[in-house]
Structure 1
Amino acid sequence: MTSLESKAKAFLQLHVPGDPGVFPTVWDAWSANIAVSAGFSALTLGSHPVADSVGRSDKEGMTFAELLTRVRQITDVVDVPVSVDIESGYGLEPAQLIEGLLEAGAIGLNIEDTVHSEGGRLRGAQEHADLVHGLRQFADAAGVHVVINARTDLFKRKDGDDSDRVDRAIERLKLAAAAGADSLFPVGQHADADMRRLTSELPLPISTVAQPGVSEKAVLADQGVARITFGRFLQWALTEEANRLLNRWK
């Protein structure tokens, strides 16, 4: 079995601006096996689809322990790099988060700046960067270059004025980059000009969420995106198809 450090290095090399790595977002061993059998060389776990799969709500309605159970079930059956959305960290310390992820066989993480355990407040830009720095320190101490995808929810939350939101996101994500992130995730749907600003002005590969049946990889590649995941949209698309099939039998 490939070592965690080798998987982490291989995963990071797939983040190529203009030739983005596509990492299907899965939620259990079944969906992970489907994605690997389809030829994908790395996977992501999304908090929303995982929570749905265990009967919990998104926004840290499940515990970190419940999430790690799912991670282990997936890493037990596929031997590809797996990155995990750990939401805002479940109120845990960076050492606990890194230790849990590595023990479960994951080599990457998303960390967002909405603090669900504290009423959904937005972390300060430096506060979020400090968390990224802590995660990097403990990952380095463990000997695995855990791939940190630093997320901001500024666009999703629509905090502040529209006029300078891109500027504020860039400032926030630059701090995360300096703190040790490997890729940056300005989550949300962006106008073409805004996405091009983000990919050209930020110093690290940019991650985005695509809708499997709607988005076009070539368009995102032309915008300079380096990492594509599906968030909740793959699970939703499969749900629609399941409903279509089941409705035939009512």
Structure 2
Amino acid sequence: MPDQTLAQRAETLLAKHQPGNPVILPTVWDAWSARLAVDAGFAALTVGSHPVATSVGKDDREGMTFSDLLTRVEQITAAVDVPVSVDIESGYGEEPARLIEGLLDAGGVGLNIEDTVHSDGGRLRSVTEHAEFVGALRRAADSAGVHVVVNARTDLFLRQDGPESDRVERAIERLKAAAAAGADVLYPVGRHDPETLRRLASELPLPINAIAVPDSDDPASFGPLGVGRISFGPFLQNALSGRATEILQRWA
């Protein structure tokens, strides 16, 4: 039988994704940052691979192992009583069933999956391959009895892959395929101008995830563009690091 608490948290997380009224998921990396966000009033969180890797002295892009990540996720879910999504990069070379099993055992109820395969030279999955991986994650979650919230990500913009002239169209094609395969949220990761975000939100069939810089972006600016989810990537940790450096340098 599935863990009813996990199943309920997954449904709660999914319901928060409303285009035009985006859920804000602060990107955290340990129990301290998770508690900080929850105490500030946030009702769900996402665990970022980049800040987690930085916090344990390893590189992003799967410089840590899936086990490394799960250890940190377990610490976070033990510290806070809210739904937690987890950035699992491109899967750490693990099979989808193992990824879902590990995620649920650690208390996570959502995931980001990207199309850059770090365990295979950093190549980009094809449209079909990425969709099939998303579909396998969905089937594994269904078998576990928990509707894990799958956030399908494409790195086309980060990689500046191919001609800029049709990059938006190619990202939409990729993300539509992921949606058809069972994704719940679509993540064209990158910093986009308002018109591009509006187009992505209007042409994609599911809520989209936008990345925000928390100490400079206007929180109210994303909803009118149709965004359904906001996260911070490494930018919250970067902002705190910058402030901490200022304080420490006064004493150095």
Scaled by the length of structure 1, what TM-score is found?
A: 0.99
User: Where do 5+ consecutive residues of structure 2 fail to align?
Assistant: none
Shift of 1:194: 1.2
Identity of aligned residues (%): 65
**1:202-233 CA distances to partner (integer Å, 9 max, x unpaired)?**
00000011000111121111111000001100
2:220 aligned partner = 218
2:158 aligned partner = 156
Runs of 4+ in 1 over 3 A off after TM superposition: none
CA distance in 2, matches of 1:216, 1:129: 33
1:85 aligned partner = 87
CA distance in 2, matches of 1:78, 1:48: 21
CA distance in 1, matches of 2:118, 2:92: 8
Shift of 1:2: 7.2
Whether the 8 Å CA contact 1:17–1:205 is kept in 2: the answer is: yes
**1:78-127 CA distances to partner (integer Å, 9 max, x unpaired)?**
11000000000001100000000000000000000000011100000010
1:209 aligned partner = 211
CA distance in 1, matches of 2:42, 2:194: 27
1:122 aligned partner = 124
SS of 1:164 mapped into structure 2? helix
Shift of 1:190: 1.1
1:236 aligned partner = 238
CA distance in 2, matches of 1:2, 1:75: 15
Q: Does 1:48 align with 2:50?
A: yes
CA distance in 2, matches of 1:237, 1:191: 22
1:11 aligned partner = 13
Q: How many residues align?
A: 250
**1:147-205 CA distances to partner (integer Å, 9 max, x unpaired)?**
00000000010111111000000011000000000000000111222111100000000
CA distance in 1, matches of 2:183, 2:163: 26
User: Where do 5+ consecutive residues of structure 1 fail to align?
Assistant: none
1:246 aligned partner = 248
Q: Which amino acid aligns with 2:162?
A: G
Task: Choose the corresponding residue for 1:194, options 185, 193, 196.
Answer: 196
SS of 1:66 mapped into structure 2? helix
CA distance in 2, matches of 1:102, 1:132: 17
Scaled by the length of structure 2, what TM-score is found?
A: 0.98
- Map residues 66-105 of structure 1 onto 2, 5 A cutoff: 66-105=68-107
Whether the 8 Å CA contact 1:2–1:79 is kept in 2: the answer is: no
For the aligned residue pairs, the C-alpha RMSD in angstroms reads 0.9
